[in-house]
Protein backbone atom coordinates (compact mmCIF):
# COMPACT_ATOMS: atom_id res chain seq x y z
CA UNK A 1 0.00 0.00 0.00
CA UNK A 2 2.82 2.38 0.91
CA UNK A 3 4.49 1.68 -2.41
CA UNK A 4 1.27 2.48 -4.28
CA UNK A 5 0.94 5.82 -2.52
CA UNK A 6 4.51 6.68 -3.33
CA UNK A 7 3.95 5.93 -7.01
CA UNK A 8 0.81 8.02 -7.08
CA UNK A 9 2.57 10.89 -5.36
CA UNK A 10 5.47 10.75 -7.77
CA UNK A 11 3.07 10.80 -10.72
CA UNK A 12 1.20 13.78 -9.30
CA UNK A 13 4.43 15.63 -8.61
CA UNK A 14 5.64 15.09 -12.18
CA UNK A 15 2.32 16.27 -13.60
CA UNK A 16 2.27 19.36 -11.40
CA UNK A 17 5.80 20.27 -12.45
CA UNK A 18 4.74 20.91 -16.05
CA UNK A 19 2.13 22.90 -17.93
CA UNK A 20 2.66 20.92 -21.13
CA UNK A 21 -0.32 18.53 -20.67
CA UNK A 22 1.88 15.48 -21.20
CA UNK A 23 0.95 12.01 -22.39
CA UNK A 24 1.16 8.99 -20.09
CA UNK A 25 4.40 7.99 -21.84
CA UNK A 26 6.04 11.29 -20.94
CA UNK A 27 4.92 11.01 -17.32
CA UNK A 28 6.26 7.45 -17.29
CA UNK A 29 9.68 8.64 -18.50
CA UNK A 30 9.86 11.26 -15.77
CA UNK A 31 8.59 9.05 -12.94
CA UNK A 32 11.09 6.37 -13.92
CA UNK A 33 13.92 8.70 -12.93
CA UNK A 34 12.62 8.42 -9.40
CA UNK A 35 11.13 4.92 -9.42
CA UNK A 36 13.11 2.97 -12.04
CA UNK A 37 11.06 -0.24 -11.78
CA UNK A 38 7.65 1.36 -12.34
CA UNK A 39 5.79 0.06 -15.41
CA UNK A 40 3.90 2.04 -18.04
CA UNK A 41 0.76 0.06 -17.10
CA UNK A 42 1.06 1.24 -13.49
CA UNK A 43 1.44 4.83 -14.64
CA UNK A 44 -1.66 4.49 -16.83
CA UNK A 45 -3.67 2.91 -14.01
CA UNK A 46 -2.67 5.60 -11.53
CA UNK A 47 -3.41 8.40 -13.98
CA UNK A 48 -6.84 6.95 -14.63
CA UNK A 49 -7.55 6.60 -10.91
CA UNK A 50 -6.43 10.16 -10.27
CA UNK A 51 -8.67 11.50 -13.01
CA UNK A 52 -11.62 9.43 -11.76
CA UNK A 53 -11.12 10.99 -8.35
CA UNK A 54 -11.04 14.43 -9.94
CA UNK A 55 -7.47 15.18 -8.88
CA UNK A 56 -6.31 15.59 -12.46
CA UNK A 57 -7.94 15.93 -15.87
CA UNK A 58 -7.68 13.45 -18.68
CA UNK A 59 -8.01 15.22 -22.02
CA UNK A 60 -8.81 13.49 -25.26
CA UNK A 61 -7.99 15.40 -28.41
CA UNK A 62 -9.07 14.10 -31.78
CA UNK A 63 -7.30 10.87 -32.52
CA UNK A 64 -4.26 11.47 -30.31
CA UNK A 65 -3.18 9.82 -27.09
CA UNK A 66 -4.76 11.09 -23.87
CA UNK A 67 -3.08 14.12 -22.34
CA UNK A 68 -3.07 14.80 -18.63
CA UNK A 69 -3.53 18.06 -16.78
CA UNK A 70 -2.93 18.79 -13.10
CA UNK A 71 -5.22 21.81 -13.35
CA UNK A 72 -8.81 20.93 -12.57
CA UNK A 73 -10.34 24.41 -12.37
CA UNK A 74 -12.43 25.72 -15.27
CA UNK A 75 -10.17 26.52 -18.18
CA UNK A 76 -9.98 25.76 -21.86
CA UNK A 77 -7.33 24.40 -24.16
CA UNK A 78 -5.70 25.43 -27.35
CA UNK A 79 -4.12 22.64 -29.35
CA UNK A 80 -1.50 23.55 -31.92
CA UNK A 81 -2.16 21.56 -35.07
CA UNK A 82 1.50 21.67 -36.00
CA UNK A 83 3.54 20.90 -32.86
CA UNK A 84 0.61 19.40 -30.90
CA UNK A 85 1.38 21.49 -27.85
CA UNK A 86 -1.58 22.03 -25.56
CA UNK A 87 -1.90 25.46 -23.99
CA UNK A 88 -4.14 26.59 -21.16
CA UNK A 89 -6.61 29.31 -22.04
CA UNK A 90 -7.96 31.25 -19.12
CA UNK A 91 -11.41 32.41 -20.06
CA UNK A 92 -14.38 32.77 -17.77
CA UNK A 93 -17.36 30.53 -18.44
CA UNK A 94 -19.54 32.25 -21.01
CA UNK A 95 -22.98 32.14 -19.47
CA UNK A 96 -24.60 33.62 -22.57
CA UNK A 97 -23.64 30.50 -24.52
CA UNK A 98 -25.29 28.10 -22.06
CA UNK A 99 -28.33 30.37 -21.88
CA UNK A 100 -28.68 30.56 -25.62
CA UNK A 101 -28.46 26.76 -25.95
CA UNK A 102 -30.92 26.33 -23.09
CA UNK A 103 -33.34 28.70 -24.77
CA UNK A 104 -33.11 26.97 -28.12
CA UNK A 105 -33.41 23.42 -26.83
CA UNK A 106 -35.24 23.65 -23.54
CA UNK A 107 -32.42 21.64 -21.96
CA UNK A 108 -30.74 22.55 -18.72
CA UNK A 109 -27.09 23.19 -19.53
CA UNK A 110 -24.79 22.40 -16.64
CA UNK A 111 -21.49 22.50 -18.42
CA UNK A 112 -19.90 22.69 -21.82
CA UNK A 113 -16.56 21.93 -23.37
CA UNK A 114 -14.75 24.27 -25.62
CA UNK A 115 -11.57 23.49 -27.47
CA UNK A 116 -9.46 25.76 -29.59
CA UNK A 117 -7.02 24.67 -32.23
CA UNK A 118 -4.78 26.33 -34.77
CA UNK A 119 -1.18 27.43 -34.83
CA UNK A 120 0.77 28.50 -31.76
CA UNK A 121 3.01 31.58 -31.79
CA UNK A 122 6.17 29.55 -32.34
CA UNK A 123 4.76 27.65 -35.31
CA UNK A 124 3.27 30.81 -36.73
CA UNK A 125 6.68 32.46 -36.59
CA UNK A 126 8.35 29.44 -38.17
CA UNK A 127 5.79 29.37 -40.96
CA UNK A 128 6.28 33.08 -41.55
CA UNK A 129 10.03 32.63 -41.75
CA UNK A 130 9.63 29.85 -44.28
CA UNK A 131 7.33 31.97 -46.37
CA UNK A 132 9.76 34.86 -46.62
CA UNK A 133 12.51 32.48 -47.65
CA UNK A 134 10.39 31.13 -50.52
CA UNK A 135 9.67 34.52 -51.99
Residues that bind Zn ion (CB under 5 A): 69, 71, 80, 82-83, 88, 120, 123
Give the residue with the Cβ less far from Zn ion, 41 or 118. 118
Give the residue with the Cβ less far from Zn ion, 109 or 123. 123
Smallest gap from Cβ 38 to Zn ion, in A, equals 24
Give the residue with the Cβ less far from Zn ion, 32 or 87. 87
Smallest gap from Cβ 108 to Zn ion, in A, equals 26
Q: What is the 3-state secondary structure (H, E, C) of the chain?
A: CHHHHHHHHHHHHHHHCCCCCCEHHHHHHHHHHHCCCCCHHHHHHHHHHHHHCCCCEEECCCCCCCEEECCCCCCEEEEECCCCCEEEECCCCCHHHHHHHHHHHCCCCCCCCCEEEECCHHHHHHHHHHHHHHC
Amino acid sequence: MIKRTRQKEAILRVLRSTTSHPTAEWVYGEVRKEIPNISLGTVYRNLRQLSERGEILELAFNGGASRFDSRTDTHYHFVCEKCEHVFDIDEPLHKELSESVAQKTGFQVLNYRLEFSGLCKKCLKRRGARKTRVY
